[in-house]
Amino acid sequence: MKVGVVGGGIAGALLALRLRREHGAEVEVFTLGPSTPDASGVSGGLVRGYERDPAASRLAALGLAELRDSPELLEWTGYRETGSVYLLPPDAGPPDLTAVRELLPGSAEVVDAAEAARRYGFAGGDGATAVVERHAGFLSPAGLRERALDWLARNGATVRESRVERVGADTVTAGGTGRRYDAVVVAAGAWTGRLAPGEWRTKQIQFGVYRVELPGLAVFVDDVTGLFGRPWAQGEFLLGLGCDRWDVDPERVEVDTAHAEDVTAAVLRRFGVRPEPVRAVASCDGYGPPGGLRLRVEGGVRTFAGGSGGSVKTVLAASRVAARQLAA
C-alpha cells in the first residue's frame, strides 16, 4: 500500500510512522518545513490521562501508557513525569476515571476543592473537585515529530518539503506535479480546511513564560478560570488561558497583547501572586467536527486532524487506530 500523508506535524509524522513501521506501507510525507512554524513546533506538551470527554480520556490514557512503557518514546519525547492536577467547575458532575484507572492503575485520585487549595494553592473556593494524577507531565512535541520524521527518512519513507496545492482521494499535487497513491490523508493541522472539504476552523492558542513561584504546582488545568500551565525552568512557569481568536491564518498569527494581562489577573485571583512575563508564544490549531483527532472521510478526501488544541495527548493512540483503519 502506498500512502501520501500531507502534514509533518505530530499528527502526520505519527500516522506515517505507524503506517510504515506497523503495516509496512510505502509512505510519502509532505510538509512545509521548519521555515513555516506549526503547532507541533511550539506546543506546551502537557499530557495526562484524564480528559472530561471519556473517549478522549481513553486515547490519552492509552497513549500515556504506551509512552511510559517505551524507552524509545521516552527518549524521543523527553517526557518529564511531574504529576498533574485538573480543577473542575462546580457543575461538572463526578469525573469519569474509567480509562485512567484501567490503563494507568494507581495514577488518579479525586480530591475536593479544599484539599486542592491546601495542596496546590488554588484560592477562591469555586472549583468543585480536582482530578490529581501521578502519571502525567509534559513532553516535547517538537522532539517527537523530529525523531519520527528522522526515523521515517532512515527507513524507506520519503519526507518532502513541498507545499501541496491540491489533494484528491488518491492524488496529491505539489509544485504543479501530480502524484498517485492508494490513499491520501490530509493531516495538516490548522491548514486542513485549505485542502479538505468539511467544517474546519482555526483557533489561536497562546501561552507565556512567566517568572513566578507556584510551590507544589506542576502540570495543571483550572477549568473554572481557563488557566493552564506547567513548570518551564527554575523560577519560571508556562501559563496560558483559553483564547477566543477564531479563523486566524496559520501563517500570520500575532501575539494577543491582552493575553498577558488576562493571565496575570487569573494567576493573581487563583494563587495570590503576580507573574512577571518573560515572553509570549502564539500559534493556532485546527478545530474540526466533534470527536477529536481521528480519521475521517468527506467529499472523498481523508483527513487525520481536528485535535482542537489537544492532539499531543491523543496522537499516540489515535495514530495507531487511524493506521489500522487505513491498512484494513
Ligand X SMILES: Cc1cc2nc3c(=O)[nH]c(=O)nc-3n(C[C@H](O)[C@H](O)[C@H](O)COP(=O)(O)OP(=O)(O)OC[C@H]3O[C@@H](n4cnc5c(N)ncnc54)[C@H](O)[C@@H]3O)c2cc1C
Binding residues for ligand X, rule: CB under 6 A, are: 6-12, 30-32, 36, 38-40, 42-46, 141, 163-164, 187-191, 205, 207, 281, 283-285, 305, 307, 309-313
Least gap, CB of 244 to ligand X (angstroms) = 14
Contacts of 297 (CB under 8 A, 6+ apart): 303
Least gap, CB of 305 to ligand X (angstroms) = 6
β-strand partners of 202: 286
Least gap, CB of 286 to ligand X (angstroms) = 6
Per-residue cell: 44: 506546551
DSSP character at residue 309: T
Q: Using the minimum distance from each CB to ligand X, give the nearer residue, 31 or 77.
A: 31
Q: Using the minimum distance from each CB to ligand X, give the nearer residue, 113 or 314.
A: 314
Contacts of 302 (CB under 8 A, 6+ apart): 169, 183, 184, 185, 186, 295, 296, 326
Per-residue cell: 285: 490549531
Strands 26-31 and 2-6: parallel
Least gap, CB of 82 to ligand X (angstroms) = 13
Q: Which position has the grid cell 509570549?
A: 280
Q: Using the minimum distance from each CB to ligand X, give the nearer residue, 124 or 226.
A: 226
Q: Are 47 and 60 in contact (CB under 8 A)?
A: yes
Least gap, CB of 20 to ligand X (angstroms) = 17
Q: Using the minimum distance from each CB to ligand X, give the nearer residue, 49 or 113.
A: 49
Nearest C-alpha neighbor of 226 from the set 195, 193, 270, 181: 270
Least gap, CB of 247 to ligand X (angstroms) = 15
Q: Using the minimum distance from each CB to ligand X, give the nearer residue, 270 or 313.
A: 313
Q: Using the minimum distance from each CB to ligand X, give the nearer residue, 121 or 309.
A: 309
